[in-house]
Amino acid sequence: MSNWKTALFELQKTDMSFSTFNEVKAESLDFNNVSLANSTITNANMRNLELNDVNLFGARISDVNLSNSKIINGNLRDLVIDHVYLAGTSFRNIVIPAELDDESISIKFEKCHLSNSQFTDCDLSNVEINNCNLLGMKINGILIEDLLNSFTERK
C-alpha cells in the first residue's frame, strides 16, 4: 500500500454510475441518501458495517460471514436461507402479520438439523411436522415418543 495514492472526496449530487473501483481502501465512509442499485461488491471487508433504513429487495448475499450480526426491525418476507451455519443463533419476537397469515407465506424448515434447539414461549399453532426424527424431542418436558406411543395404544 506504500505506492497507493491518497485522495479525499466530498461528493454531492454526483452521478458515479458505471464506475469501477479495484484494489481501493475505502474505510470509514459515510453514504447518505445514496442509490447503489444494481451494484456488485466482491471480496470486500465490511467488518462492523452499519446499514440503516436500507432497501435490499432482491439482494443476494453469498459466501458471507455474518457472525455477531443483528437484523432489527427487518422485513424478511420470502427470504431464503440455504446452507447456513446457525450455531448459537437466536430468533426473537418473530411474527407473521395476521393479515398475511395464510399458507402461501408460511415459514418452512426443510432438511434442517435442529437437534438441541429450544422453542420457548412460541405460538406453534397449526404447525406440521412431517418425516422428522423426533428422538428425544420433548414438549413441556414430555417425550414426544411417549405421547405417540400412548396415542397409538389407545387406538
What is the rounded average pLDDT for all residues in the chain?
A: 89
User: 101-107 contacts: CB < 8 A, separation 24 or more?
Assistant: 105/77, 105/78
- DSSP structural state of residue 98: G
Q: Residue 100 — pLDDT band, cuts 50, 70, 90?
A: low
Domains (range + CATH), the chain: 17-96 (2.160.20.80)
Q: Residue 13 — pLDDT band, cuts 50, 70, 90?
A: very high
In this predicted structure, what is the pLDDT of residue 155?
A: 78
pLDDT at 98 over 80: no
pLDDT at 139 over 80: yes
